[in-house]
Structure formats: C-alpha cells, structure tokens
C-alpha cells in the first residue's frame, strides 16, 4: 500500500485543491473548472489496481460525472447568453440543481452510486462518500429551488432507507446510507451553511471510523462480520459505530440530526419531520440487524488471553470510538 500511496500523493493533492478552486471561485466557469479537475484527479485514484471491477467502476464514474458537468456547463452558458448573466430562471435553477445532484449521487440520479462503489476499495469509497459531496453541495447552495429540493430530499431519504434493507454487501450498504445522509445534508445546507459544515464533519467522522475499521479487517460483506472469530470488544466497536451512524441518542450521530429536526419543527414542517424520523428508524433497523447478528452469532471469548487484537491500528479506532460515545456530552463543554 505504501507504494500506492506514494504515487497517489499528487492526485490527493489535486483532488483537495480542485474542491477549493470550485468553492472559492467568483465565476461559474471557475466552478466548472474545479469540477472537471476533481473528476480528472479522482479517476487515477480509483483505477489503480489490476482487477476488472475497479476498471469498470472508473469507466462508469467517468461517464456519469462528465455528463453531469457537461450539463452544468450548458446551464452556465445558457444563463450567460439568454439571461445575460443577470438572473437565474426557475428552470435554469432546476437544471443546475439536477446536474449537481447527479454529481453527488442523489436520487433520482443515484443509480450509478451503489454500482460504482461496489468496485472501489474502502479508502476510495470513503473519499467518494465524503469528499466528493462537498463541491456539488456548495455549488447547489448558491442557488436552490426550494420546491424541487424538498421533493429531492424526501426521495433521498426514502430511497436510502428502503434500498438499504435488502443489501448484503457492506459497500452497498454504506452507499445507501450515504444517500440517506445526503438527504439530511441537503436539508441542512438549505437551512444554513454552518449547520451543514457541522453535519458534514460529524458524518465524515463517523464514516471514517467505519471505513477504516472495515479496511483494517478487510471486510466487504455482512457475513464476514460474524463468521470470523473476533473477540467481543471489537464487535462492540461495530455496534457503537453503527448505532452512532443510525442516530441513536447518546452517541454522536444523534446530535446533527437533532438540530435539523429542531429546525424543522420550529418552522412547522411536520410532514418532513415525520418522514425523516420514520426512515431514520428503518435505517437504524438494519444497522441494528447487522450489529445484532455480529454480536450474537459466534460469540467468542478466550479464557487464556482475553484481549486479543493484533492490529495496531485499533488504537485509532478505539480513540475515535471514544469520541463517538462521549461526543455529545463533551461538546456541551465547548459550546456553552
């Protein structure tokens, strides 16, 4: 992995900067440029191994993303010529939003997302699930059509919950959970950007723990969670992180969802609150299903050597899981 990382360093660097270019430009063209550089730098990151899956994944990724950014460019040019760069019409807004949604992997243009993520390694999928969402979201927040976006949010949440029920591959599971959380994130960015930053940082924190965990243990499917003989504390780790991702209260994943629900209820958007909460429950259901089976089947406890963890990266995971548990309480020390 080390040699891979050395050769990928420059692409990480360009990926990082492409987002910054896209966000901080004062012209729509600059945004488009950033998007293209993003795409170009991500492709080598993905296609850097020798099996067919990742090649196919990179090809599909290239196709979808380029079509989306083409449409974005088209929208910008129409705006430039027809509107003389003054205003964003309703339909133009929707056109721009749709292309951004396709970039992010949001419903109704999300069908590539679980397909592609099946072919990526865990680190790449982590980048796809977290970093690649920043640019489209921020670009979308520059002009949003609220009616359209509301429908998109609701669809995101529903599809993320229902689609994830029937999966056995861990990467697809994380993809659907990412689609679900994308709905929350679009909602939060339509509330305020600070809130979105907060939600995004929490979400990427949780995802990072899980992705790292699965990367360490080299797990790609659900049955790998309970077939191997890990000891009990490792499985507790799975439980904690999954429950935190699902938004169960004492863990840190509850905090951002709580704030968004608070905002929704204060603004009398009760139907959306209802849908959010119900689908959250369904997501939580299949997280609990996974972690329940992980703990209950094959419960192994050695008598002679109780804590048997050979991997030194578990230190990181434990450290971050500590924040997962006590994050909410510790944050009151910061924010009060």
Partner 1 sequence: MNNMKYSICFISFFFLFMMMMVNFFFMIYFIMNDMVILMEWEIMSFNSLSIVMSILLDWMSLLFMMFVFLISSVVIYYSKSYMQSELNLSRFIILVLLFVFSMMLLIISPNIISILLGWDGLGLVSYCLVIYYQNLKSYNAGMLTALSNRVGDVFILIVISWMLNYGSWNYIFYLEFMNNDWEMMMIGSMIIMAAMTKSAQIPFSSWLPAAMAAPTPVSALVHSSTLVTAGVYLLIRFNMMLLDMFFLKLLLLLSGLTMFMAGISANYEFDLKKIIALSTLSQLGLMMSILSMGLPDLAFFHLLTHAMFKALLFMCAGIIIHMMNDIQDIRFMGGISLYIPLTSLCMNISNMALCGIPFLAGFYSKDLILELVSFSNLNLMIFFLYYLSTGLTMFYSFRLMMYLMVNDFNLLSIFNLYDEDYIMLKSMFVLLFMSIISGSFLSWMIFSYPYMIYLPFNLKMMVIYVSLVGGMLGYFISNMKIYSVNKFLMTYNLSNFLCLMWFMPNLSTYGLSYYFLNLGQSLLKNIDMGWSEIYSGFGMMQVMKKYSVFYNVYQMNNFMIYLFSFIIWMFILFMMLMFNN
List residues binding partner 1 (CB under 8 A).
60, 63-64, 67-68, 71, 74, 78, 82, 89, 91-92, 94-95, 98-99, 102, 109, 111-112, 114-115, 159, 162-166, 282, 285
Of 19 and 64, which CB lies nearer to partner 1 in the complex structure?
A: 64
Nearest distance, CB of residue 335 and partner 1, angstroms = 37
Omega of the bond leading into 188 within 30 degrees of 0 (cis): no
C-alpha distance from residue 78 to each of 29, 73, 84, 90 (Å): 13, 9, 9, 13
Closer residue to partner 1 in complex, CB, 95/157: 95
Beta-bridge partners for 169:
221
In whole angstroms, the minimum distance from the beta carbon of 168 to partner 1 comes to 11
Tell me if 157 sits within 8 A of 184, measured CB to CB: yes
Q: CA–CA separation, 299 vs 311, rounded Å? A: 20
Residue 230 has, within 13 A of its CA and on its CB side, a CA count of 25
For residues 328 and 251, the answer to whether their CB atoms sit within 8 Å is yes
CB of 175 to partner 1, least distance (A): 10
Cα–Cα dist 241/229, whole Å: 19
Shortest spacing between CB 67 and partner 1, in angstroms: 6
- Which residue, 66 or 190, is less far from partner 1 as judged by CB? 66
Cβ closer to partner 1: 21 or 73?
Answer: 73
Which residue, 265 or 278, has its beta carbon nearer to partner 1? 278
Range 17-54 burial, b when 16+ CB lie within 10 A, else e: ebbebbbeeeebeebbbbbbbbbbbbbebbbeeeeeeb
- Least distance between partner 1 and beta carbon 43 (Å): 17
The contacts of residue 335 (CB under 8 Å, 6+ apart) are: none
User: Which one, 63 or 227, has the nearer CB to partner 1?
Assistant: 63
Name the minimum Å distance from CB 19 to partner 1.
23
């Amino acid at each position: 992995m080390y040699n891979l990382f050395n050769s990928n360093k420059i692409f990480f660097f360009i990926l990082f900067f492409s987002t910054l270019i896209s966000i901080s430009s004062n012209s729509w063209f600059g945004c488009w440029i950033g998007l293209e550089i993003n795409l170009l730098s991500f492709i080598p990151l993905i296609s850097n191994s020798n099996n067919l899956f990742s090649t196919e994944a990179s090809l599909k990724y290239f196709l979808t993303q380029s079509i989306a950014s083409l449409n974005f460019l088209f929208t910008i040019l129409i705006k430039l010529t027809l509107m003389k760069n003054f205003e964003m019409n309703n339909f133009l807004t929707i056109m721009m939003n749709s292309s951004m949604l396709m970039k992010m992997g949001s419903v109704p243009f999300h069908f590539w997302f679980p397909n592609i993520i099946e072919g990526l390694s865990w680190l790449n999928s982590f980048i796809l699930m977290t970093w690649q969402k920043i640019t489209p979201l921020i670009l979308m927040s520059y002009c949003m059509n609220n009616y359209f976006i509301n429908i998109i949010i609701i669809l995101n949440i529903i599809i993320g919950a229902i689609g994830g029920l029937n999966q056995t591959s861990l990467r697809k599971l994380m993809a659907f959970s990412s689609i679900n959380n994308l709905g929350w994130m679009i909602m939060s960015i339509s509330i305020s950007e600070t809130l979105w930053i907060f939600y995004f940082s929490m979400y990427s924190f949780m995802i990072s723990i899980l992705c790292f965990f699965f990367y360490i243990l080299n797990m790609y499917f659900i049955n790998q969670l309970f077939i191997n003989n890990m000891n009990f504390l490792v499985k507790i780790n799975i439980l904690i992180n999954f429950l935190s991702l699902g938004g169960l209260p004492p863990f840190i994943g509850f905090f951002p969802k709580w704030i968004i629900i608070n905002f929704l209820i204060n603004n009398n958007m009760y139907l959306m609150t209802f849908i959010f909460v119900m689908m959250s429950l369904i997501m939580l259901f299949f997280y609990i299903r996974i972690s329940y089976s992980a703990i209950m089947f094959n419960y192994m406890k050695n008598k002679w050597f109780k804590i048997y963890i050979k991997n030194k990266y578990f230190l990181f995971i434990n450290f971050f899981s500590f924040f997962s548990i006590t994050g909410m309480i510790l944050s009151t020390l910061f924010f009060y």
